Amino acid sequence: MRNIASVLADRPSLIDDINRLVTPESLLQVLRSVADTPAPSGTSSLTRGAVIQSWFESRQLEHAGAVLRRDAFESGCDVLTNGEGGIGILAHLDEVSYLLREPVRPGLWQVTPYCYHLAEEPTPARVVRFAPDGTWSVLCHAQISLEEGQHLVSHPVEVELRPGDRVVLATPLAHDPDTGRVTGSLDNAAGVAAALLASETMLRCGIAFSTYLTDEEEGPSGAASQTISRGAARLLSRLDPAPLTVAVDIHGLSSVDLQRNDNFRRPWGASLAEYSSRGKGSVARPDIYASLVQALEPLSSKGIHVRANVGGHVPRSDDVVAMLHSNRVVILGYPGENRHFDRGLPATNLQDLVDLARALVVVGAMVHPSPGSDRS
């Protein structure tokens, strides 16, 4: 990985190009289309994958040299690439979902979480039904609750659910233009949107990358890391390790930082973490972590704000499996709250997502094979 001074010496206009191509408007447009499309675990390529393909085609990225592979290697994951030897970006495309277990009475089913259930209050949801040909539709709106130890979904009595229907927590995307605060089904649509915009920007700047959009980040809830990230496991086992893999997901902030940013009514910046889940997830190599801190933190004066996350809880994600694939894994995400609708609607700040997308491009440029390298 090259140092930032060397990168900027070779690409003097890089920061200006990044800031011109990655804007709040362009990011919000991608985010809305992804977040408002349901993606139960194991099905994201069928649902949100089609949205990403439409975006890919509308931006004419194929003509610029990019390749989009839906359901790559029959893994359920989607892969967007440009060239070889570049950064690997992992961002899970699926969202918090539940499996039907058994009916309780008309309008009420017991469900099994396909995730960690963290919502403390009844939470809005929608039921998605899939046809044998892979097409899908939103069957109805619903509500998930936890009552006496049972996870329940309540739905209109006139709608009959059946095994195979999937339930996802869902709320429409909303953006406050005065503060930049965004709410909606953000985990991990927000990370995907930042990764996609970063990918397009790297393509326009001639930077190699591979972006992996995984279909089953959470999986069955449990204490062991082996129960999660099965989509990444299916995909990465078929690929050579990238020189650096960046896991992109939502990060919690410390209580002090939450007060300072007024619960995401003020931007905080992209979040760089040294490790996830109190060390149960991945742990960055200290030399690589130090390189990124040294490179990214000074870019604040140039419009790219990245901060080391100190004291916030950073959940494990696809970085768990990535670290089994390579020891060159770092965690760069976006600050947010209520990732699983814990105590309200998931929230982040749009500017923090812009900072994340911009920072990913900078890291991609640091990883891109240097002139004269035998890797291309």
Q: Does residue 225 contact residue 296 with C-beta atoms inside 8 Å?
A: no
**In the structure, what pLDDT confidence band is assigned to residue 371 with cuts at 50, 70 and 90?**
low
Instruction: Tell me how far apart the alpha carbons of residues 125 and 118 are, in angstroms, rounded to a whole number.
Output: 14
Amino acid, single-letter form, for residue 60 = Q
Q: What was the pLDDT predicted at 376?
A: 38
pLDDT, tens only, 333-342: 999 999 999 9
> Which tens digits make up the pLDDT trace of 271-323?
999 999 998 889 999 999 999 999 999 999 999 999 999 999 999 999 999 99
Give the integer Cα–Cα distance in Å for 250 and 314: 8
Structure-model confidence comparison of residues 225 and 342, the more confident one: 342
What is the mean pLDDT of the segment spanning 213-229? 74
Q: What per-residue string of b and e applies to 94-104 under the rule 16 or more CB within 10 Å gives b? A: bbbbbbbbeee
Structure tokens that stand for 58 in this block: 């509308």
pLDDT at 10: 94
Q: Which residue, chain included where needed, has tokens 């619960």?
A: 263
* Predicted local confidence at residue 238, as pLDDT: 97
pLDDT of residue 280: 86
Q: What is the pLDDT of residues 102-123, one digit of tens each?
A: 999 999 999 999 988 999 999 9
Mean pLDDT over 342-355 rounds to 97
Section 166-172 average pLDDT: 97
Contact of 4 with 366, CB cutoff 8 Å: yes
Residues 58-78: pLDDT tens digits? 999 999 999 999 999 999 999
- Six-digit token pair at 121? 């209050």
Residue 151, token pair as written in the block: 């996870």
Q: Is the pLDDT of residue 219 over 70?
A: no
pLDDT of residue 2: 94
Q: What is the DSSP string of 301-361?
A: GGT--EEE--SS-----THHHHHHH-S-EEEEEEE-B-TTSSSSS-EEEHHHHHHHHHHHH
- The overall average pLDDT reported for the chain is 95
